[in-house]
Structure 1
C-alpha cells in the first residue's frame, strides 16, 4: 500500500521538529567574539575613568590598542567571516548600500554588510588614534603638549560618536532583518542565508 503524500502541514510540522541548529550557520568565531566584547569593556572602562583613575584609564587604553593589533592580524589570518577581504568594499558599494538602506531595500548579509565593514575600519582607526595620542601624552617628549592633548580628546569623542552610530546601525539591521545581532555576537550564529541574502 503506497504511503500517503505529505501535506504542507505535515512538512511544516516536520520542519518545526528539526534541531534549531539546522537553521543557523556559524559566522563569528571565538576570537572575533572575544575581541568584540573585550574591546567594549576596555572602551567603557577608559571612558568612565578618564577623570577619576589615571592608571586604570591608561591600562584600558593599552588593552584597546593591543586588541586592535590582534584584530588586524586575525583580519588576515582568521576564519573566513573574520577576514577583511570578506567584508571590506569600495566606496561605491558602501554608498550604494547606504542608499538602499534609506529606501528600505538593503540586502541581508551573513557577515558584515558594506556599511558595517566600513564602520569596522573607522572604529579601528579611531581606537588606534585614541590609543596612540593617549600613549604620547605619557612620554617625556609629548607630556603636556597642547596639540597632543587636543588630538586625544578629539579622537576619543569621535570614537564615542562612531560607537553610537554603530549601536544604531546594529539596532536598525536587527529590526529590518528580524535578527538579533547582539545575540549573534554572543553565540557566533546567525540565520542561514536565503535566496535574497548575501552569503
Structure 2
C-alpha cells in the first residue's frame, strides 16, 4: 500500500458538513421550520466557499484538477467494463460528474427554497414543486454516490470513505494510479 495525501481539511469538512446538513434537512428537520431555512442557507454558504476553494485551494481541490472530460469518462467506463483496476489520485471522471450534479442540484434547491421565502414566490406552486423535485433528485443522486463509493472502494481496494475522513488515500501496490 502506498499513501497519498489528497484531501485537505477544508474539502473534508465541507463534504461531511454538507452531507450532514442535507440529510438533516431532507429527513429530520420540519420543512416549514426556521431551522430548515437556516440549514439550507448554511449549505449554500458552504457551497459558495467550496466553489471559491475550487479556484484558489490546493491542486487536488481545484476544479481544473478533476474537471470531467469525454475521454476520461470513456476511459473509466472502459475500465469498469473490462475490470481494469485503476485508482484515481483525486476524483474519477464519473465522480466529478456526480460532484457537478450535486453542486448544481444543491444550488437549485437553495435557490428555490429562498424563492419560497420571498413575497413574489411565496405560495407559488411550481416553485414548491420544483424544490421538492430537486430534493428528490438530490436524494437519488446521494444514494447513487454512496453506492458508487462503496463499489469503487471494493473494486479498487482503496477505502474512499476513509480517505475522505483522513485525507489520505491508501492505494494497493498492484493498482495502477491515475494522477
In the superposition, the TM-score normalised over structure 2's length comes to 0.92
How far apart in 1 are the matches of 2:31 and 2:136? 17
| 1:59, distance to aligned residue in structure 2 (A) | 1.1
Counterpart of 1:72 in structure 2 is 51
Alignment gaps of 5+ in structure 2: none
CA RMSD of aligned residues (A): 1.9
Whether 1:181 and 2:123 are equivalent positions in the alignment is no
The correspondence for 2:65, drawn from 80, 86, 108, is 86
| 1:48, distance to aligned residue in structure 2 (A) | 2.1
Structure 1 segment 1-199 matched on structure 2, within 5 A: 23-49=2-28, 51=30, 54-105=33-84, 107-191=86-170, 196-199=176-179
How many residue pairs align between the two structures?
Answer: 178
Q: Please identify the structure whose Cα radius of gyration is greater.
A: 1
How far apart in 2 are the matches of 1:106 and 1:59? 43
Q: Which has the higher contact order (CA 8 A, sep 6+)?
A: 2
| 1:63, distance to aligned residue in structure 2 (A) | 1.0
Alignment gaps of 5+ in structure 1: 1-19
How far apart in 2 are the matches of 1:175 and 1:143? 46
CA contact (8 A) 2:85 2:155 kept: no
Which of the two has greater strand per residue? 2
In the superposition, the TM-score normalised over structure 1's length comes to 0.83
CA contact (8 A) 1:97 1:106 kept: no
